[in-house]
Amino acid sequence: MIIPYKPKYVLSLLLAVLALAVFSLLFFKQIDSIVHISLYQYGLTFDNSWADPYWANSNLFLYCQTLTLILFGNALALFFGYTRTRNSFSSIASSLLLCAGAGIDITSIYFLSKLDSIVNGDLYSYGLTFSNEWYSSYSLDFNLSLLLVILAGLFALVSAIIIYAGATRTKIKPVKLLNIILIANGTLALALSIVFASSILAIVGLGLLFWGITFAYAGTSENVKKILLETAVSSQMTAIGNTIKKLGFEGNPVYLPPRYFKDSNTYGIYLQKSGSILLPSPDVILSTEPNTLFASIDNTPAIIVAPPGVELVQLFEKTLETNFNRTDLKYLQQNLPRLIVEDLEVAEIFEMAIDRNIVRIRIAGSVFSNLKPQAEKPDVWSLFGSPLTSAIACSLARATGKPVMLAGPKTDRKGKSVTLQYVIL
């Protein structure tokens, strides 16, 4: 999921954050007027013993809220400047100010709770008598002020995430985002339950933490037994190997970029019978309309073959929600390792290094490492590589827009990892 970047919505959210902070101060002023005006009518007598700590916590709360408003205001100004200049520094600075403001805003809850403990505890020792008339007004203002403070902090954090992730086009998984929200809110609820000695908040916090941790370990991925994967892939590789063997095409395969085809979503491998590679121009290949599994090229001892990793590279693009035609090698280097190891779990280790026109990749623990076609055991793996290595070659060809040739793989002594070398022609 790409965080949607809509400046008008973000500006509205930032204005809402400022409004929440301002209204929390207004309700706090109502609380202060009740304590210093209304409560004296219910027997409260003034004494510095309760007034000094009350004023200290009150001033600390006001200082926190004032600083929060300053940080939120500067974040709004920086984001407004970012919408005009598209300066990445402005977006990052705005996000940091929002996070800092949210932290100070949530910290002020402690001082607000200390004030509540003074009003509902200490003041009864100084002549205050309980009455629903003043308590209902006080509790309403206090709860509203507390709620607005919490909402302002949470909205500020959400705004910071949207500004940073939306401006940098960061991709976030909805499931992981849900886990973070549940765990963060659960932790906050438990912290507040300690401050307010509330069993309800404790139960809510434990419930949110339980589901957040549960969803973190219980994914929605569709798992397939490895033996089924081996059977399906082996049949495909056997058919391709037998056909190529009968036709006599044993040259070094070259993965072609989209510009060699009329349809940019077409994948193909250029394969000669023998000799050095004589790759024809895109116009020559385009004239043959190679949109099928096999296509021969006129007056050339070569064919176009559909790569065995077509479905896998399409899965790469679908998972990353992008088209490799609009990316580059740096994008693949940043995203393929996490995609293959963490998201799809196709391999345990995936490392990618770029050296001019050569791309070196080390793979360990691949699910395709032990797949062996059974029928006649053709030497297809050494020709095209596994579906994973074929998908990587397709990805490189699409990202660079140039033909890509796969050199022979090198396996370590223990056979636990393989190093591949791709040459960008």
Summarised one tens digit per residue, pLDDT across range 213-253 is 776 665 545 455 454 455 445 555 656 666 666 666 666 78
Is residue 180 included in any domain, yes or no? no
Do 255 and 335 fall within a single domain? yes
Q: Of 106, 141, 172, which closes a domain?
A: 172
Is residue 182 included in any domain, yes or no? no
* pTM, 2 dp: 0.48
Q: Note down the domain range covering 66.
A: 7-172
Do 131 and 230 fall within a single domain? no
Q: Of 134, 153, 172, which closes a domain?
A: 172
Is residue 195 included in any domain, yes or no? no
Do 231 and 342 fall within a single domain? yes
Is residue 190 included in any domain, yes or no? no
Do 126 and 268 fall within a single domain? no
Do 237 and 156 fall within a single domain? no
Is residue 179 included in any domain, yes or no? no
pLDDT tens, 280-319? 777 766 666 555 555 566 556 777 777 777 888 888 888 8
Instruction: Produce one character per residue of 191-221: b if its CB has 16 or more CB atoms within 10 Å, e if not.
Output: ebbeebeeeebbebbeebbebbeebeeeeee
Do 113 and 50 fall within a single domain? yes
When divided into structural domains, the chain yields a total of: 2
Do 154 and 71 fall within a single domain? yes
Do 409 and 273 fall within a single domain? yes
Do 166 and 232 fall within a single domain? no
Is residue 44 included in any domain, yes or no? yes
Is residue 116 included in any domain, yes or no? yes
Instruction: Report whether pLDDT(373) > 50.
Output: no
Do 127 and 238 fall within a single domain? no
Q: Of 172, 193, 209, which closes a domain?
A: 172
Q: Quick one: pLDDT band at residue 423, thresholds 50, 70, 90? A: confident
pLDDT tens, 246-267? 666 666 788 888 888 777 777 8
> How high is the pLDDT of residue 383?
61
Is residue 205 included in any domain, yes or no? no
